[in-house]
């Protein structure tokens, strides 16, 4: 299942659970999800010329936002449906007086960083590289480092420490090689939180960079940062 489809699946399941809390358990629909997956089930539901019983139940609960139709219309799922399918959903929702929320742009912050595609991550990281205000680097404010830049540096390193060039010493809980992001010139020393100034190191080399500032190491990392 593709990432987007997975997210759609989760959104639908969340909607069902929320409806369940309000006293309406869409058992038939859940059965369909079991048979066809959330995407398949949603397509079946919205292809019917009349609205489902579930839809009218949600309408009575004043929670049409939980309906399959409303979830389908979320802008992030646009690519999963045809124009006709979306038009059908819109028509039914409008017919029941549902006020469509303004089409929002996909909010990137809602996507876990690890799930962002390489190309998009590169774009964001480079953008943040320019835009981010300077932040101080210290163990306390580490969270203020731009997480997109850190993730980008790690992915760019492809599991290999950029200093010693050995593979990451272990995999994290998600099976991703463990590396740490590091600013070649520390932020407290005027370094930027940018693509060029961020590299990925194994924990040993990371310590080393903070303890012995060997100029040759710094030079080597600078080269890697600007690749």
Residues that bind Zn ion (CB under 5 A): 161, 163-164, 182, 202, 205
Quote the least distance from Cβ 6 to Zn ion, whole Å. 34
Residue closer to Zn ion by CB (options 57, 208) is 208
Cβ atoms 183, 198 nearer than 8 A: yes
Residue closer to Zn ion by CB (options 154, 182) is 182
Quote the least distance from Cβ 163 to Zn ion, whole Å. 5
Residue closer to Zn ion by CB (options 6, 210) is 210
Quote the least distance from Cβ 223 to Zn ion, whole Å. 15
Quote the least distance from Cβ 175 to Zn ion, whole Å. 20
Residue closer to Zn ion by CB (options 4, 185) is 185
Residue closer to Zn ion by CB (options 118, 165) is 165
Quote the least distance from Cβ 162 to Zn ion, whole Å. 8
């Amino acid at each position: 299942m593709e990432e987007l489809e997975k997210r759609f699946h989760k959104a639908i399941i969340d909607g069902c659970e929320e409806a369940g809390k309000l006293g309406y358990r869409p058992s038939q629909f859940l059965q369909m999800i079991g048979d066809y997956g959330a995407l398949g089930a949603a397509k079946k539901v919205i292809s019917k010329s009349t609205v489902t019983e579930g839809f009218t139940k949600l309408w009575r609960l004043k929670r049409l936002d939980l309906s399959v139709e409303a979830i389908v219309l979320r802008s992030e799922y646009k690519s999963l449906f045809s124009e006709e399918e979306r038009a059908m959903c819109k028509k039914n929702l409008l017919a029941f007086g549902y006020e469509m929320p303004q089409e929002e742009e996909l909010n990137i912050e809602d996507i876990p960083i690890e799930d962002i595609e390489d190309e998009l991550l590169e774009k964001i990281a480079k953008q943040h590289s320019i835009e981010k205000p300077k932040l101080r680097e210290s163990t306390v404010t580490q969270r203020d480092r731009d997480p997109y830049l850190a993730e980008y540096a790690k992915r760019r390193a492809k599991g290999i420490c950029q200093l010693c060039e050995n593979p990451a010493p272990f995999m994290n809980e998600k099976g991703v090689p463990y590396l740490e992001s590091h600013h070649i010139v520390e932020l407290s020393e005027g370094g930027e939180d940018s693509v060029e100034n961020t590299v990925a190191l194994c924990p040993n080399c990371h310590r080393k960079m903070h303890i012995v500032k060997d100029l040759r190491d710094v030079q080597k990392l600078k080269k890697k940062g600007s690749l």
